[in-house]
Amino acid sequence: MDHIDNGIRKLDQKSLWFLALPIWGIFMSYYFLLGKNVVFEINDVLDESLFNYVLQGKYLFHPVKVFPEMLTGVPASGMSVSSPIFVPLYHFFPVFTAFMIQFSITALTAFLGMYACVRKLTGSSFMGVIAGTALMWLPWNPIYGLSQIGIPLLLYAFLCLLEIKRVSLKVALPFCMILYYTFGAHLVWIGFAPAIILGFLTAVFLIRKRAGMAPFYWGVGLFGASYVLINKDLFVDFFGGTDFVSHRTESIIDGSGFGTAWGLFWYGDTYAPSLHHYLILPIALLLVIYGLRLTIFRKHCFGDAPAFFEKTKRLYVRALLLFVGNIVIALIYGLCESRWIIDWRNAQTGILKFFQFKRIYWLYLATWYIDGALALMLPAIYHSGFRCRGEDKREQKYEIAGGWPQVCIWGMILMLCLPTAWYIRQNSNWILNKSQYKNHCNVGLVSWKDFYAEDLMKQIKDYIGKPQETYHVASLGISPAVSLEAGFYTIDGYSNSYFLDYKHRFRPIIEKELEKSDYYRTYFDTWGNRCYIVAAEGPGNLGRKNPEFVYRNLELNTSAMKKLGCDYLLSAAEIEGAEQRGFVLQSVFEQEDSFYRIWLYSLKE
Whether residue 389 sits in one domain with residue 501? no
Query: Looking at residue 53, what is its pLDDT?
Result: 93
31 part of a folded domain: no
- Total domains present in the chain: 2
Q: In this predicted structure, what is the pLDDT of residue 304?
A: 63
Q: What is the pLDDT of residue 543?
A: 66
- Cα angle vertex 400, ends 114, 405, to 5°? 65
- CB neighbours (10 Å) of residue 138? 22
| Same domain flag for 460 and 397 | no
pLDDT given at position 2: 63
Are 291 and 384 contained in the same domain?
Answer: yes
- Assess if residue 535 is contained within a domain: yes
What residues make up the domain containing 560? 453-603
Per-residue pLDDT, 293: 85
HEC profile of 335-392: HHHCHHHHHHHHCCCCHHHHCCHHHHHHHHHHHHHHHHHHHHHHHHHHCCCEEEECCC
pTM summary value:
0.91
What would the pLDDT profile of 224-252 be if each residue is shown by its tens digit?
999 988 887 776 665 655 677 888 888 88
First to last CA, the chain: 87
Helix axes 192-208, 151-163, angle to 10 degrees: 20
Examine residue 41 and state whether it is found in any structural domain, yes or no: no
Q: Is there a single domain that holds both residue 375 and residue 457?
A: no
User: Is the same domain home to 373 and 489?
Assistant: no
Do 361 and 499 belong together in one domain?
no
What pLDDT does 122 receive?
A: 92
Same domain, residue pair 360 and 499: no
The answer to whether residues 276 and 350 belong to one domain is yes
Indicate whether 399 and 470 sit together in one domain: no
Looking at residue 396, its pLDDT comes to: 44
Instruction: Kindly state whether residue 146 falls inside one of the protein's structural domains.
Output: no
pLDDT less than 50: residues of the chain: 386-402
pLDDT, tens digit, 9 for 90 and up, residues 95-121: 999 999 999 999 999 999 999 999 999
Q: What is the pLDDT of residue 372?
A: 95
Look at strands 566-571 and 472-476 and give their pairing.
parallel
Residue 415 lies in a domain: no
Report pLDDT digits (tens) over 551-586: 999 999 999 999 999 999 999 999 999 999 999 999
